[in-house]
Structure 1
């Protein structure tokens, strides 16, 4: 088991820190490294979060990355990182198709994992990853940052507070023109808009009006347009809940969008700016006039909340984070499997 598992009070009292390592050295790994450096300089996190190591398939690339962010260690293989007993938490920052394999390798070596979204390529892999976490006693949690951010509670309080009346419909969109990247277009990398950006739209709906509020999906309809490679370039999914509430999730990798999350009620509606990282919430009345604006708390990068939650969980000896428990991860993975099934989209490794 990891160094710090199960003895949080003792570890913190002794001034021990959670050593965080990054597996992968791509764009999102740089964002995490920047986050960890900022956490190490912030009084809220500095005493217990430590940016420790990075691993890449190329040793020189790993050394350059480590030097850029002042990390203690750089490894030219993922296996070497997993074998470092000083690593407490590994952030998995590789393409979707590799998440399960690499997370399982880390956990079997005694490392806790914070796995970038989408958690895995499909629900079968997610179950295998979670089963390994349970067998090894390691923490495994999905790094979908919006689940951990303060904006989640703010939106839930708005919906539950009754200001919008009875919520009847929701729409959520996240689209970027990023189709030139292999991780988006290559079926072997579990490419497509759904797992890359569509997962945020589905999670927004799940938090804003779905499972966070006790609703279960009764039926769904979905469609997509493909890249030449066969994976989805753009998609739209309509979810109908048992009480008749209708939610629409759209995403695209070939066009930019407003990135809005809109919650419509009988007494007004709310517009969340940027469901990928909420920046603010505008509440409107039935006259379509702005009733009030809700600010979202300032943050380092937004990634700090998932890191802190994972570190707290492993210090407490827990195998999952309450912000994104395994049941929630599996539900979203199963939903995306069903959506892809309706499209007839299978990845080559499935």
Structure 2
């Protein structure tokens, strides 16, 4: 249930920009900063949101980050950031294992939050964080950008039109060679391919299936030397005789393709992590239609705009990624890891 919060109403009534602060100063934080700079220069977003502050555990690092992106305020601790009354929205850009703790810190300080995927390390953490969010009445939403992009609506509209008939199978993959990043291989940081890259093909399938729960799951996984999952294949069986396969790896590169197979043709989406084009083929493999995807700033602008607008509207969740969807995906990944007998040290 959405709850009106005073901060959102104040921003709406006084016409103020939603001031966003970035918690963390790593790679994904840099991408978000670049996005906000472009949004501030874009007439579609310039009166909606602004990049106000950044915080890192090291003040020098925060200062360097702020100087690089022209951010007005930098903090050397997260506690200082959430104590700033000017902050309306905090984007949490740290490793998965820290999201629950830092999300709670923000909410209890009265800050709305946009939490980078995966939302938390497991479903129990997600449930606990969302309980705090519900009590606070503040916005709490997961920043998985594909849920907010225009390509999602394009795909849904095409499927609903019946252009490929009844959907009977889905195949999606996302693979990047990223074992060089320490957080990806560290069990203590909830490392592994599943929570970082595998979450995208799973979300791709979940969006097509309208949030249906699979009746049965079969999985296979190859472990990395540290014990986390290096690559995997997951087959999900749904009511109506629909089968979906999700593949991911942190060892290899892949075509990142999302394919939807129907009784009268099939659809191919280039790059499930950020759909670039959608091609429709008939039963004879002839290209019937090519659907372009709108140009974007970076792709992250949609989740930021959705979160900012939700705050102004006094809503506690975004319709693009409601809390139930976050919980379902977290539960699905827990179910998959249970099949692998893979747990993190803190669980």
- Aligned equivalents of 1:182 and 1:338: distance in 2? 25
Change (3 A) 1:174 1:35: same
Other-structure match for 2:154: 154
8 A Cα contact 1:19 1:50, kept in partner: yes
- Aligned equivalents of 2:26 and 2:265: distance in 1? 42
Other-structure match for 1:220: 217
Does 2:2 match 1:10?
A: no
Does 2:339 match 1:345?
A: no
Mapping of 1:27-42 within 5 angstroms? 27-42=27-42
The C-alpha deviation readout for 1:298-330, integer Å capped at 9, x for no partner, is 000000000010011111111111110000000
Q: 2:283 aligns with which of 270, 277, 286?
A: 286
Mapping of 1:154-303 within 5 angstroms? 154-211=154-211, 215-303=212-300
- Aligned equivalents of 1:317 and 1:196: distance in 2? 30
The C-alpha deviation readout for 1:62-119, integer Å capped at 9, x for no partner, is 0111111111100011111011110000000000000000010011011110000000
- Aligned equivalents of 1:330 and 1:305: distance in 2? 21
SS across alignment from 1:294: strand
Distance apart, 1:142 and its partner CA: 0.1
TM-score by length of 2: 0.97
TM-score by length of 1: 0.96
SS across alignment from 1:62: helix
SS across alignment from 1:51: strand
Does 2:131 match 1:134?
A: no
Other-structure match for 1:327: 324
Q: How many aligned positions are there?
A: 344
SS across alignment from 1:217: coil
Structure 1: gaps spanning 5 or more residues: none
The C-alpha deviation readout for 1:203-241, integer Å capped at 9, x for no partner, is 000112342xxx331111111000011110001110000
- Aligned equivalents of 1:114 and 1:230: distance in 2? 30
SS across alignment from 1:270: strand
Structure 2: gaps spanning 5 or more residues: none
SS across alignment from 2:14: helix
Distance apart, 1:244 and its partner CA: 1.0
Other-structure match for 1:84: 84
8 A Cα contact 2:176 2:254, kept in partner: yes
Distance apart, 1:8 and its partner CA: 5.7
- Aligned equivalents of 1:245 and 1:158: distance in 2? 18
Other-structure match for 1:50: 50
8 A Cα contact 1:2 1:87, kept in partner: no
Distance apart, 1:9 and its partner CA: 4.1
Q: Cα RMSD (Å) of the superposition?
A: 1.2
- Aligned equivalents of 2:111 and 2:210: distance in 1? 33
Other-structure match for 1:106: 106
Change (3 A) 1:164 1:52: same
8 A Cα contact 2:175 2:256, kept in partner: yes
